[in-house]
């Protein structure tokens, strides 16, 4: 019985001794992790200064900053692991990371999918920061491309976070991809209007609007005989930002209405013709009324 108690006491003493030995190492590892946080921020600031001078692309600059931040954390974690567990070799760490990455990959596959999609977006640059894009039902200005999401500020001032994988696999309309953007403005005139006069008026007015560019030139097309009007489309080009498009469209509508009023060109209201029938006379289910003839 005494031997068993002695064995238990020896085991407890060994555990306490091992714990006492490992506590300083664990404390040192925690200090290294705390310093890694500040080191990551410091290296990111240095990387930002370097990238501002050497990298012209905003997206690649953002990718460089994120990569620097993540690599700093990886180095700090590896050093902290070696300090906490002195017997741990670099090969063991790599093997552990390899096995752990498989398990983590299954558990966080959506996060990794969005992370890789974000890197591909930054590398391929289908759009850049401050571009105005439309993804599915969301449209606005790209504010940031994070590790997991793309941040959009809508025209109503709302923030929308779209997963990078959704952005990468969806059809994207980049409204600011080119220098100019076309607006098609529908105008209807009544059937008594001289079409050459209306077309010439629209061509003259649209070129006087501030913000409408001359190259590419504006065009006016006759497109349709409608129920109560003949429809024309004014096609003109402006800078692509949504605020400019809205402002110039408002000016164009105001100027066209004023010019039509001055020339007595009517923009018609919808017209409907209603015929009233005698329902009893034209009821197919009633027997015909006998005609009154000569006796």
pLDDT reported for residue 205: 93
Q: Taking residues 150-159, what's their average pLDDT?
A: 93
Q: Are 169 and 162 in contact (CB under 8 A)?
A: no
216 vs 71, more confident:
216
What ranges in the chain are assigned the alpha helix state H?
Answer: 2-54, 58-84, 90-107, 109-124, 164-169, 195-206, 242-262
| Domains, in order of start, for the chain | 2-107 (no CATH), 126-174 (2.30.30.60), 181-262 (3.30.70.100)
The per-residue pLDDT for range 209-219, each reduced to its tens digit, is 999 999 999 99
Q: Taking residues 3-24, what's their average pLDDT?
A: 59
Q: In the structure, what pLDDT confidence band is assigned to residue 64 with cuts at 50, 70 and 90? A: confident
pLDDT reported for residue 129: 87
Question: Closest Cα partner for 213 from 181, 178, 185, 250?
Answer: 181
Out of 15-19, 81-85, 192-196, 266-270, least confident range: 15-19
Does residue 15 have a pLDDT over 80? no
pLDDT reported for residue 113: 83
Q: Taking residues 159-176, what's their average pLDDT?
A: 92
Does residue 143 have a pLDDT over 70? yes
Q: In the structure, what pLDDT confidence band is assigned to residue 283 with cuts at 50, 70 and 90? A: low
Q: In the structure, what pLDDT confidence band is assigned to residue 208 with cuts at 50, 70 and 90? A: very high
Q: Are 162 and 138 in contact (CB under 8 A)?
A: yes
58 vs 105, more confident:
58
67 vs 106, more confident:
67
Cα–Cα separations (whole angstroms), residue 290 to 39, 170, 286, 287: 106, 72, 12, 9
Q: What is the mean pLDDT of the chain?
A: 80
Q: Are 111 and 125 in contact (CB under 8 A)?
A: no
Q: Taking residues 188-207, what's their average pLDDT?
A: 92
250 vs 280, more confident:
250
The per-residue pLDDT for range 229-252, each reduced to its tens digit, is 899 999 999 999 999 999 999 999
Does residue 118 have a pLDDT over 80? yes
């Amino acid at each position: 019985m005494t031997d068993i108690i002695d064995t238990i006491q020896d085991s407890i003493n060994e555990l306490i001794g091992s714990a006492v030995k490992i506590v300083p190492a664990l404390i040192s590892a925690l200090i290294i992790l705390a310093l890694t946080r500040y080191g990551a921020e410091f290296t990111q600031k240095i990387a930002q200064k370097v990238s501002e001078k050497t990298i012209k692309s905003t997206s690649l600059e953002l990718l460089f900053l994120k990569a620097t931040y993540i690599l700093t954390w990886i180095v700090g974690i590896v050093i902290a692991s070696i300090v906490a567990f002195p017997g741990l070799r670099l090969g063991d760490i790599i093997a552990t990371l390899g096995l752990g990455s498989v398990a983590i990959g299954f558990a966080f596959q959506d996060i990794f999918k969005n992370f890789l999609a974000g890197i591909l977006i930054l590398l391929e640059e289908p759009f850049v920061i401050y571009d105005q894009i439309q993804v599915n039902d969301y449209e606005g200005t790209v504010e940031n491309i994070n590790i997991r999401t793309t941040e959009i500020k809508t025209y109503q001032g709302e923030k929308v976070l779209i997963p990078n994988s959704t952005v990468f696999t969806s059809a994207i309309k980049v409204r600011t991809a080119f220098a100019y953007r076309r607006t098609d403005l529908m105008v209807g005139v009544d059937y008594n209007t001289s079409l050459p006069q209306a077309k010439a008026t629209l061509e003259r007015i649209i070129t006087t609007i501030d913000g409408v560019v001359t190259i590419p030139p504006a065009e006016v097309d006759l497109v349709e005989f409608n129920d109560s009007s003949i429809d024309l489309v004014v096609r003109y080009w402006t800078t692509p930002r949504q605020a400019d498009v809205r402002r110039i469209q408002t000016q164009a509508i105001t100027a066209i209405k004023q010019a039509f009023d001055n020339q007595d060109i009517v923009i018609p209201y919808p017209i409907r013709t209603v015929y009233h029938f005698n329902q009893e006379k034209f009821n197919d289910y009633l027997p015909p009324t006998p005609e009154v003839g000569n006796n």
